[in-house]
Amino acid sequence: MLEKMNCCPYTLLVGRVLLVLIYFIGGLGLLSGDIPVDFAASKGMPALLVWIGFGIKLLAGFAVIIGYQTRVAALALAVFTIITAFMFHDLFGTIFMKEISMIGGLLVLVAAGAGKFSLDGKLNK
């Protein structure tokens, strides 16, 4: 049964959406203006970079959800997550390890691509 799931386009669709939903929802803060600039500044991050980071979360998250330039968008989110993991979280703490796990999932997506049910899949036909 599991052998069939490896190529299942539905699994890739659901997996990629669930993987990046946290980024996309967090990035929506950019539209509402709910950006934790003060917290990031307390860690030494300039406000402009915080806004750019939330833009990456929003745009790259949306790109992965619809499956457009999925590998590039997932790689951008992986790089973003590496930076934030080391800047904002205790090394080897629970949240840090969650971030590292997310990076692993994003790298799998970089390798596998978006699958059949995506704009990438439609454009590559």
Domain ranges of the chain: 9-114
The helix/strand/coil state of 39 is helix
The whole-number average pLDDT for the span 53-74 is 96
Contact status, residue 106 vs residue 78, Cβ threshold 8 Å: yes
CA atoms within 13 A on the CB side of 12: 23
pTM for this entry: 0.89
Q: What pLDDT, in 10s, does the model give residues 33-60?
A: 777 788 888 888 888 898 899 999 999 9
pLDDT band at 100 (very low <50, low <70, confident <90, very high): very high
